[in-house]
Amino acid sequence: MLTVWGRRSSFNLQKVMWLVGELKLPHTHIPAGASHGGLDDPAFLAMNPHGRVPVIDDGGTIVWESQTILRYLAARYGDSRFWSDDPAERSLAERWMDWSQASLQPDFLLGVFWGFYRTPEGQRNMSMVNAKIRACARHFQLLDRVLADRPFLCGDALTLADIPAGTSLYRYFEIDIERPSVPHVEAWYRRMQERPAYREHVMVPFSELYGRLDY
């Protein structure tokens, strides 16, 4: 049996739960982190010395780091659309996962979501926030160009490529910031919203996080 630790408002948990939902994996979810606590418990630190969620225990195999978990679940339970045996084909999805973690996620999640949405108004560094909003506009315009001739980042079907970047969409389109016109990204987002796993695990209201720097 698969066990997943994390809080439902955690962006990194959402990526994992979205894939768990797509793969229809039976699982137990244990709320952990923020007000649920538990991350400093010795038993939790023995699983993840970094003391962060998400973490999974899959029949005794412990995995932490959200994107490592995505790769693990896709390789263990996915069909070849999520994890190709061919390194070249697999790299088509992996590059978008790594791009998302190295480029989009720092600018959006740290710069905009934390810097703007989670920071109380009087404490915001608006020149930093505005620079990050502009950086995000460039990231989404890049995605818009790629998605102009395909429904998903690697072609006709959802793959691991779409999960980290796609998890940003709900918050990006919900919060009150300036956005460029990105019709192909908006169409991609509508395709995500048709998926029950996306609606259940990613479209999680987050207004309780507004202006709150604590977890």
Ligand X SMILES: N[C@@H](CCC(=O)N[C@@H](CS)C(=O)NCC(=O)O)C(=O)O
What residues make contact with ligand X under the rule CB under 6 A?
A: 7, 10-12, 33-34, 39, 52-54, 65-66, 215
Dist CA 148 CA 152 (whole Å) = 10
Would you state the structure tokens that stand for residue 125, as one six-digit string? 């560094």
Q: Between 51 and 151, whose beta carbon lies closer to ligand X?
A: 51
Q: Between 66 and 168, whose beta carbon lies closer to ligand X?
A: 66
Closest distance to ligand X from the beta carbon of 56 (Å): 11
Strand partners, 4: 29, 56
Q: Between 11 and 188, whose beta carbon lies closer to ligand X?
A: 11
Q: Between 189 and 215, whose beta carbon lies closer to ligand X?
A: 215
Three-state SS at 125: coil
Minimal CB distance to ligand X: which residue? 33
Q: Between 44 and 147, whose beta carbon lies closer to ligand X?
A: 44
Closest distance to ligand X from the beta carbon of 108 (Å): 13
Would you state the structure tokens that stand for residue 199, as one six-digit string? 């609606």
Closest distance to ligand X from the beta carbon of 12 (Å): 4
Contact criterion met (CB below 8 Å) for 132 and 107: yes
Closest distance to ligand X from the beta carbon of 35 (Å): 8
Dist CA 28 CA 1 (whole Å) = 8
Dist CA 118 CA 69 (whole Å) = 26
Closest distance to ligand X from the beta carbon of 191 (Å): 24
Q: Between 119 and 184, whose beta carbon lies closer to ligand X?
A: 119
Distances (CA, A) of 170 to 137, 175, 204: 15, 9, 9
Closest distance to ligand X from the beta carbon of 206 (Å): 12
State the DSSP string of 98-120: HHIIIIIHIIIIIIIIIIIIIS-
Half-sphere exposure for 171 (CA within 13 Å, toward CB): 30
